[in-house]
Structure 1
Amino acid sequence: MPPYPTLSGFVIPRHHTVISGQLDVCDKMQGTKNGELTAQQIENLPIDISSTKLLDWLIDRRHVNLKWQSAALIIREKINHAIQDMPEVEEIKKLLAGTYINYFHCLRIVELLKVSEESSKNIFGYYSSQRMKDWQEVVKLYEKDNIYLAEAAHMLIRNVGFEIPSLKKQIAKCQQLQAECSKKEKDYAESANSARDEYKQSCKQLGIKGEKIRSELLELVSELPQTYRSIEEQARKLSQVLEFYQAFVQFVNGSDEESMGDVCPMLQYLTQHGNTTVYQWRTGKVPDRVEEVKLSFLEDEEETKDDEIDFSGIDLDTGGIDFGDLGISVENEGAETIDFDIEVGDGTVTESGEGVARGNDALCLFEHIPTRNQFINEIIELQAFLGQRRTEMQGDSDVLTVNQFQTAPTIVQTKTLNDVTTMLSQVDDIYKRLTETRMQHLFLLIGSPKYVDRLTDSLKQKLSLEEKMLASREAVKQKRFDCLEDQTKLEPRVDALVGRTRELQKQIEGDISKRYKNRPVNLMGAINTI
């Protein structure tokens, strides 16, 4: 079997396949007579070259020198010198603006200079213009040893393998960051709304607007006496409930009337005497005088409002202070001590007589923690009793009809299911008012001055959380805009670089084609995916 010619002019066996840009001769010759190719068929065979191996292909076929880079550096220096003095031609400006000048650009510049430098042409047809001489020299240096072809191949490989993928990765990163920022914007907005709703809900539970937190909380404390009176009025209406409960307990336990006072003593006392002082509850006597208990944080609030000092009584010239009608004058000289005729004791206030309510005894029953807890416990006791009675009366057979209840007091036998349900509703209403979130906070406020600051800080923290989330949302929003701006700047660069690379591809393919009698040349591989 005769050997077949290859593109480089050497002969290889038929079973071999040429790689690195050469044709697969065996495949190309299928269908030919006796495996022989005509000269015309050989001239029409395309040359396929891998774009990533283009420079190696040119070096292997001795189209360019292996050490072309050292000569290319000298050419770059001459180009940098030549572009310092260029004519005001629009197309030349575009060629030089933001573009890596290569051989093909230099050819175009020489063509344009032939027009702009026409006046410098002498009678021998040579140009005396230094501009033309510089660029013609650059072209000659490029064409020596085909330096321009090696540089163009190197530039194409760099664009395809590094520059374009790098810019595309930056664009993809910008798009990814925009998506992440959009998601974070949504999350921060939801968190801000959640914090705001939680803040509003907390303020609603406390019964405040949330504009001036501390002041509004202290105003709630001042409304407590009115709330106490309202609860007291409701508690007074429980007399029938207590009577029903007491009669039932007495009948079941077989107790006498003297022991009836042991059932819900606090409720019995409230229905008869109201929300009195602890002193009266403890001693059974009305106090002669009640020393008002002032809350320290309320006093501090008043001091912050009246913290201005009137200096109108100070004589700045004499240095004395006028105390008005007190007849006291303090001078800078000759007055070492002042006798205000005040006796200073050990810091405690003493009072003769035993009819004075002071300290905890001066508090009302709802203000004092032990008595308030006792009242709530007795309300819970009534709830449990009435709830059980309602459950029993809702059954198929009312246990009150059983023989053992036929001898019960009239009040026990005559109460219907509706009556018990109504009484339970009254008790539940009092319990809810005393144990609702707002009242719990108010009880803590009057019981602990530091709780005012803690509650204020807690509400402010929820409000600041909303502000923090909104600030974070604005930050990621700005970051998203920045990424979008970067992407907007990168996309034209990619398009321009891809366009220049495509143009360079055609120029290289055309140049190689001329070296092989105008045979078709195709750069394959990554160049076709950019």
Structure 2
Amino acid sequence: MPKKNKSVKKKKRFEMLHSKYGELEKCAEMNEADIPIDIHIYKLHDWLVSRKIGPKNIQMQLKDIRNKITNALKDMPSNEQLIKLLTGTNINYFHCKQIVEILTETEKGTKNVFGSYGSQRMKDWQEIVRLYEKDNIYLVETSQIYVRNNNYEIPGLKKQMIKLEQQADECLKRIQDLAKPETQIQAEHTALLQQLGVKGLNLQEEFINVLNTLSEIYQKSIRNVNNIENAIDLYADCSEQKVCLPLLKHLVEFGNTTIYQYIHKEAPLSVEEPVLKLNITNRNSSNSGVATENEIDFGCDDNGGTSSTISAEIIDFGDLNLENNTVNYDLSETEGAEIDWGIETSAADNVEVSFDVPIEEYGIVVEGVGMDGGVAKGEQAYTLLDAPNYRNRILDELYELEAYLRMRLFELNQLDNSNNIMFALSDNISTHDSESIVKMLKNVDIILQEINCEQTRHLFQLKHSPKYADLLVSKLDHMTKGVEKIRSTKETLKDQAAELKQQRLELTPVLAELTKQTKDLQFKIEKDISKRYKNRVVHLIGGI
């Protein structure tokens, strides 16, 4: 009995252990099915090779398959599903299977009683599918496509889209930056046209019209010249010169007269100023190109008198064409470099003409020098402010008077009483205090500013300098072309920005489709590997 009981106990213990072991096996199997398989996409190919699921190198097999696919595509039936499937797609194993499924419908008429197809198309694509499934080539290729999409294709598309956005933003920013120089150049162009008093539509006609109003501008600039008479008298009393500031005195007394009247102390019977001829070739409007020829011809009077011209380097007062017996009435007219400090010699002081004796006995030829019967011609027909030499002398006298007044004001402000002031030698001088000097100085400054304003200087040099006229028109042309170039650049940048944005929008569906295809490949790879491992859950890590 004891031995029997012992054997029964052993048997029961064995059965119990066996049942427990079976339960443990079942638990292990259940736990293993619940454990997911995590594969990083960077190691996906190595994982497949290490598990002997697919070969390491599939390039030769893929080359053969690609050749067969190329040949098979040459003979395809006309089917909407096939056209949609093959449009813009890199064919892989799964596409080949879909093609075979479509061909089962289009080629079902070639199927024999044994279930095989007589169509060569079907045979070609079935052969391609078979080659793909041999050694699991399809799984390795799909893994490579999936990894390439994740690592290169999708990031590359995203970077390209970001770059397009940045380029479009740079174009828009560049457009905003160009607005400032465009406004600046346009403002300078408008200001210059306003200074010249023209609109810029037809420069040749407008320049001639505005130059014809130059005498009115001169007259307007010296409308307050009488206000400096006290300053001239003060300077004359102080300097004790016999002739002091003769041109300013003449302007105060007679206004802006002709040079003829200033020299001969009488008004001419008539004035024949040289004809103004302004020829600007191919510069008809502000939009025209740079002229190939630009010339200002101020003409020549009948008696040979020529007008003066002024340029940036030299003042040329022309040639009077005097004969041997001609009298030079004003030496300062032909010597532009000399400065007249106030001693004026008239022609009447140098030459005396007796009407009782024939003028031929004196050897004097009056004809051709601007005194032809009291008619002002050539240089002497210009007004004092319009003749380059006399205009410069007037400005010199104004600056001289201004300098004296400033010195006088400085002395009055520095010294305690008028007894110690230099030049305070007369009652008339000492009666002027600093307030009156400041008023005189202000009047002189006003005359200087009006005579030497921007518009007057532009028009004066335009009239007397062909070179300046050419530079002025060229400057206007360059400003206009600069604005046009900036506007053209802005339009180009605007179109480029719109094009870049359009390219960015066109890539959005491409990225979405590629992302969808990649996710589909991921699902198929995970499903295929899961079947090989008892339907365990498979996760591809590192993908989208």
TM-score by length of 1: 0.71
Structure 1 residues 299 and 138, CA gap change in structure 2 (3 angstroms): closer
Aligned residue type for 1:275: N
Instruction: Name the structure 1 match of 2:56.
Output: 66
User: Does 1:189 find its partner at 2:179?
Assistant: yes
Shift of 1:277: 3.8
Q: Deviations over 1:236-286 (max 9, x none)?
A: 453344334445x26xxxx5xxx3x44322211222343344455456576
Structure 1 residues 364 and 404, CA gap change in structure 2 (3 angstroms): closer
Structure 1 residues 301 and 151, CA gap change in structure 2 (3 angstroms): closer
Instruction: Name the structure 2 match of 1:327.
Output: none
Q: Deviations over 1:154-207 (max 9, x none)?
A: 212222233223322322221121111111122223322221111101112222
Shift of 1:507: 0.7
Q: Deviations over 1:55-105 (max 9, x none)?
A: 232223221123422222222233233334445554433321211121122
Aligned residue type for 1:413: T
Q: Deviations over 1:381-423 (max 9, x none)?
A: 4445556777888x89995699999995468638894x66654
Instruction: Name the structure 2 match of 1:472.
Output: 489
Shift of 1:43: 3.3
Structure 1 residues 426 and 347, CA gap change in structure 2 (3 angstroms): closer
User: Does 1:456 find its partner at 2:473?
Assistant: yes
User: Does 1:176 find its partner at 2:166?
Assistant: yes
Q: Distance in 1 between matches of 2:322 and 2:509?
A: 87
Instruction: Name the structure 1 match of 2:232.
Output: 242
Q: 2:431 aligns with which of 398, 413, 430?
A: 413
Shift of 1:113: 3.5
Instruction: Name the structure 2 match of 1:95.
Output: 85
Structure 1 residues 74 and 61, CA gap change in structure 2 (3 angstroms): same
Aligned counterparts, 1:335-484, within 5 A: 348=321, 353-354=365-366, 356-357=369-370, 360-384=379-403, 409=427, 413=431, 417=435, 423-484=440-501
Instruction: Name the structure 1 match of 2:39.
Output: 49
Q: Distance in 2 between matches of 1:294 and 1:433?
A: 26
Instruction: Name the structure 1 match of 2:24.
Output: none
Instruction: Name the structure 2 match of 1:141.
Output: 131
Structure 1 residues 398 and 459, CA gap change in structure 2 (3 angstroms): farther
Q: Distance in 2 between matches of 1:292 and 1:440?
A: 20
User: Does 1:263 find its partner at 2:281?
Assistant: no
Q: Distance in 2 between matches of 1:484 and 1:403?
A: 80
Instruction: Name the structure 2 match of 1:519.
Output: 536
Return 52-61 or 498-507, whichever deviates more: 52-61
SS in 1 for 2:38: strand
Aligned counterparts, 1:286-325, within 5 A: 292-295=273-276, 298=277, 300=279
SS in 1 for 2:252: helix
SS in 2 for 1:48: strand
User: Does 1:217 find its partner at 2:207?
Assistant: yes
Aligned counterparts, 1:264-279, within 5 A: 264-278=245-259
Instruction: Name the structure 2 match of 1:227.
Output: 217
Q: Distance in 2 between matches of 1:291 and 1:496?
A: 88
Q: Distance in 1 between matches of 2:60 and 2:423?
A: 120
Q: Distance in 1 between matches of 2:257 and 2:472?
A: 29
Is this contact kept in 2: 1:279–1:361, CA < 8 A?
yes
SS in 1 for 2:142: helix
Is this contact kept in 1: 2:208–2:278, CA < 8 A?
no
Is this contact kept in 2: 1:244–1:412, CA < 8 A?
no
Instruction: Name the structure 2 match of 1:501.
Output: 518
Structure 1 residues 214 and 290, CA gap change in structure 2 (3 angstroms): closer
Q: Distance in 1 between matches of 2:198 and 2:378?
A: 30
Aligned residue type for 1:483: L
Is this contact kept in 1: 2:204–2:279, CA < 8 A?
no
Structure 1 residues 239 and 490, CA gap change in structure 2 (3 angstroms): same
Instruction: Name the structure 2 match of 1:40.
Output: 30
Structure 1 residues 206 and 412, CA gap change in structure 2 (3 angstroms): farther
Shift of 1:455: 0.6
Structure 1: gaps spanning 5 or more residues: 1-36, 306-345
Shift of 1:514: 1.4
SS in 1 for 2:539: strand
Q: Deviations over 1:32-52 (max 9, x none)?
A: xxxxx9343333322222213
SS in 1 for 2:431: helix
SS in 2 for 1:238: helix
Q: Distance in 1 between matches of 2:74 and 2:80?
A: 16
Q: Distance in 2 between matches of 1:86 and 1:77?
A: 15
Is this contact kept in 2: 1:400–1:413, CA < 8 A?
no
Q: Distance in 2 between matches of 1:371 and 1:406?
A: 32
SS in 2 for 1:38: helix
User: Does 1:81 find its partner at 2:71?
Assistant: yes
Instruction: Name the structure 1 match of 2:16.
Output: none
Is this contact kept in 2: 1:392–1:399, CA < 8 A?
no
Q: 2:189 aligns with which of 199, 209, 213?
A: 199
Q: Distance in 2 between matches of 1:405 and 1:144?
A: 122
Structure 1 residues 176 and 391, CA gap change in structure 2 (3 angstroms): same
Shift of 1:287: 6.9
TM-score by length of 2: 0.70
Q: Distance in 1 between matches of 2:321 and 2:245?
A: 37
Structure 1 residues 190 and 274, CA gap change in structure 2 (3 angstroms): closer
Residue identity over aligned pairs, in percent, reads 36
Q: Deviations over 1:200-243 (max 9, x none)?
A: 01112222222223432333222222223334543245334433
Q: Distance in 1 between matches of 2:487 and 2:137?
A: 60
Aligned residue type for 1:431: L
Is this contact kept in 2: 1:192–1:466, CA < 8 A?
yes
Aligned residue type for 1:136: Q
Q: Distance in 2 between matches of 1:515 and 1:404?
A: 120
Q: Distance in 1 between matches of 2:90 and 2:30?
A: 40
Instruction: Name the structure 1 match of 2:311.
Output: none
Aligned residue type for 2:93: Y
